A = this chain, B = another copy of it.
Amino acid sequence: MTMTHPSHPAVLLAADAVGDVIEYWGFRKALGRVWAVLYLWDGPLSAGDIGERLQMSAGAVSMALTELQRWAVVKRVWLPGERREFFEAEVDLWKMIAKVISERERYLARGVRERLEQAKRMVEESGGGVKGQREKLEKLVSVAQLAEHVIEAFIQSRMADFSTFTGALSGAGEGSAKARKVRLETGRKR
């Protein structure tokens, strides 16, 4: 076994914190950690570098990078004279969260409302159901409808807040000389 060397403890600590944020929003913790290591490193890193720093297997790194690229929060970078692919963090991690959350919430709200409506219909068809049950189902349905509207409103305001975050992560300090020399390329296939 070759000796691997993990990252500076401070980077690991920060990466883990970002991992927790990401996990809270329903992604795998590993995605947040990988993003954080890329963000904190001043320049592109290869998959191997990331695996070493975070002590993750090649497979896990590959899967994390694929998913992060799918969300467009990590970009592929080609360095002349390098066989390996390199990766860099996009600063708009928050965009990813906002995008997915809104989709997920919409999907959940819709599915819940539909099932409640179906349940209501079933009770009605089977002769009104037990006393009070129909009224209760009607209430649940109306709450679900209400929730759908509230979610739409939330999503709007959330979007605004997330864009604030995005601004805060970019700006001064961006791009080292080394990084600037690089020819950029965004993921294509898939």
Judging by beta carbons under 8 Å apart, are B11 and A42 in contact?
no
Instruction: Write the chain B residue with the least CB distance to A145.
Output: B168
* Residue A187 interfacial (CB < 8 Å): no
Q: How far is the CA of A142 from the CA of B170 in the complex (A)?
A: 12
In the complex, the answer to whether B168 meets A139 with C-beta atoms within 8 Å is yes
Residue of B nearest to A162 (CB): B150
Q: Is the CB of B115 within 8 A of A143?
A: no
**For chain A residues 92-143, which have a beta carbon within 8 Å of chain B?**
104, 108, 111-112, 115-116, 118-120, 122-123, 126, 129-133, 135-137, 139-140, 142-143
A111 and B165 contact, Cβ closer than 8 Å, known pairs A122-B9, A122-B13, A137-B40: no
What are 24 contact pairs spanning A and B, CB under 8 A?
A8-B130, A10-B120, A10-B129, A13-B118, A13-B119, A14-B137, A16-B115, A17-B111, A17-B116, A18-B140, A20-B108, A24-B104, A24-B108, A40-B137, A42-B131, A135-B172, A139-B169, A139-B171, A140-B169, A143-B165, A146-B164, A146-B168, A147-B165, A157-B157
Report how far A173 CA is from B123 CA in the complex, Å.
Answer: 16
